[in-house]
Homo-oligomer: A and B are copies of this chain.
């Protein structure tokens, strides 16, 4: 191995040269969040002038006024029932954000009594959630804010490591929940296998009020012809004798508009009553006109599928470009592996252990903003410091290509530096 600063490896020399050129370019590129490309938002342009001359729901509710079904408009719930695998009577249509529904479920469990619980979570000595990693940073920050302990569980190609999940949940009554993005997971695109879903539903839990927070954010968000279908978690839980175990969440954030969509909650009848009972103290009702607007625009489940095919046409080339550039620049170097998801919004890039933060820092210095390293793990702490989340959706294709080219340079630079000076970190 070369000593520092003397016989520098050719790869590192080349990476340094490329990085200097990158910095000189003075780019300003943003791969931080899963925002939608304006072209994707344009696909729902008709919403801007809807509901037009309509304000009555299918069953005659004046959407402009107080009142109407606290579950939200039935015609909209009918559209999403099959896509989210929730019977229409057990599906709630709500406001603009499914994260709000997740938050409120945690709040109501902390301050109320979730079906099956002995009391309020806030009165328990300890409340912990399992967090499959890498995972979604907003799940983790929500949990952390309430002082809920987070226990990391590694992801496998089939979903969370179920041996570990089963062992922990069976033994520890303080574990009240698990965060799951079961389809095209954030950030690595994993789809839970049927066996994973079956085991999650069937496993014994020490806590009688254990809940699966099933964030089915990408239920219809395919990127290839291989449109993955996951097992029906509510049915699996009911079959296993745990009908109240799963809370299902979904939204139109990436079907129509992230800034003005509709979110959904689905669960057992008991859980739905529980949530609606608490919601009734919080609000006189959701924005029904926006629900009507969405029902008129999307029409039916096939309308959603058609919309998602149009989204795919815009998104898939970006994911292909990321994979192509990473393969060209990093393939065979041993410096990186990355996911090639069949749907969803993210690509997980794994760099050598101990390098993620430095790659993100170098990229930022060169004008390429990435999601903070560590964000994919509880407390922002990736113990191996190796996972970087790439969000390819927002930039145009040319900008994206430029950003990924630059990112690859940073990975080469940091990776080769580390190879030559492993003890310097």
Binding site for B on A (CB under 8 A): 33-36, 38, 41, 44, 47-55, 62-68, 95-97, 99-100, 103-104, 107, 110-112, 122, 138, 141-142, 145-146, 253, 257-260, 278, 281-290
Q: Which single residue of chain B is at the shortest CB-CB distance from A281? A: B145
B287 touches A62 (CB 8 A): no
Given contacts A111-B122, A287-B287, whether A100 and B260 have CB atoms under 8 Å apart is: no
Residue in contact with A259 in the complex, picked from B38, B104, B253, B285, CB distance below 8 Å = B285
Q: Which single residue of chain B is at the shortest CB-CB distance from A100? A: B283
Q: Which single residue of chain B is at the shortest CB-CB distance from A282? A: B103
Given contacts A51-B48, A62-B259, A257-B64, whether A287 and B111 have CB atoms under 8 Å apart is: no
Q: Which single residue of chain B is at the shortest CB-CB distance from A285? A: B259
Residues of chain B contacted by A44 (CB below 8 angstroms): 64
Provide the bound-state CA to CA distance between A64 and B42, in Å.
9
Residues of chain B contacted by A53 (CB below 8 angstroms): 48-49
B96 touches A286 (CB 8 A): yes
A95 touches B287 (CB 8 A): yes
Given contacts A49-B49, A66-B33, A259-B63, whether A284 and B97 have CB atoms under 8 Å apart is: yes
Residue in contact with A290 in the complex, picked from B50, B122, B260, CB distance below 8 Å = B260
Q: Which single residue of chain B is at the shortest CB-CB distance from A103? A: B282
- The 25 listed contacts between A and B (C-beta, < 8 Å) are A34-B66, A35-B66, A36-B66, A41-B55, A41-B65, A47-B289, A48-B51, A48-B55, A49-B52, A64-B257, A64-B258, A95-B287, A96-B287, A97-B285, A99-B282, A99-B283, A100-B282, A107-B107, A111-B111, A138-B284, A141-B281, A142-B281, A145-B281, A258-B284, A259-B288
**Known contacts A41-B55, A99-B282, then 13 further A-B pairs from the complex at CB < 8 Å, ordered by chain A residue:** A41-B62, A48-B52, A48-B53, A65-B258, A96-B287, A97-B285, A100-B282, A100-B283, A107-B111, A111-B122, A112-B145, A145-B278, A258-B284
Residues of chain B contacted by A65 (CB below 8 angstroms): 35-36, 38, 41, 257-259
Q: Which single residue of chain B is at the shortest CB-CB distance from A146? A: B111
Q: Which single residue of chain B is at the shortest CB-CB distance from A107? A: B107
Residues of chain B contacted by A282 (CB below 8 angstroms): 97, 99-100, 103-104, 142
Residues of chain B contacted by A33 (CB below 8 angstroms): 66-67
Residues of chain B contacted by A259 (CB below 8 angstroms): 62-68, 285, 287-289
Residues of chain B contacted by A36 (CB below 8 angstroms): 64-66
Residues of chain B contacted by A68 (CB below 8 angstroms): 259
Provide the bound-state CA to CA distance between A48 and B49, in Å.
7
| Cβ distance A300 to chain B, nearest Cβ, rounded Å | 22
Residues of chain B contacted by A285 (CB below 8 angstroms): 96-97, 259
Residue in contact with A283 in the complex, picked from B38, B62, B97, CB distance below 8 Å = B97
Residues of chain B contacted by A257 (CB below 8 angstroms): 64-65, 289
Residues of chain B contacted by A146 (CB below 8 angstroms): 111
Residues of chain B contacted by A49 (CB below 8 angstroms): 49-50, 52-53
Provide the bound-state CA to CA distance between A104 and B95, in Å.
15
Q: Which single residue of chain B is at the shortest CB-CB distance from A145? A: B281
Provide the bound-state CA to CA distance between A420 and B259, in Å.
63
A283 touches B103 (CB 8 A): yes
Residues of chain B contacted by A104 (CB below 8 angstroms): 282
Residues of chain B contacted by A107 (CB below 8 angstroms): 107, 111
Provide the bound-state CA to CA distance between A54 and B45, in Å.
10
Provide the bound-state CA to CA distance between A67 and B24, in Å.
29
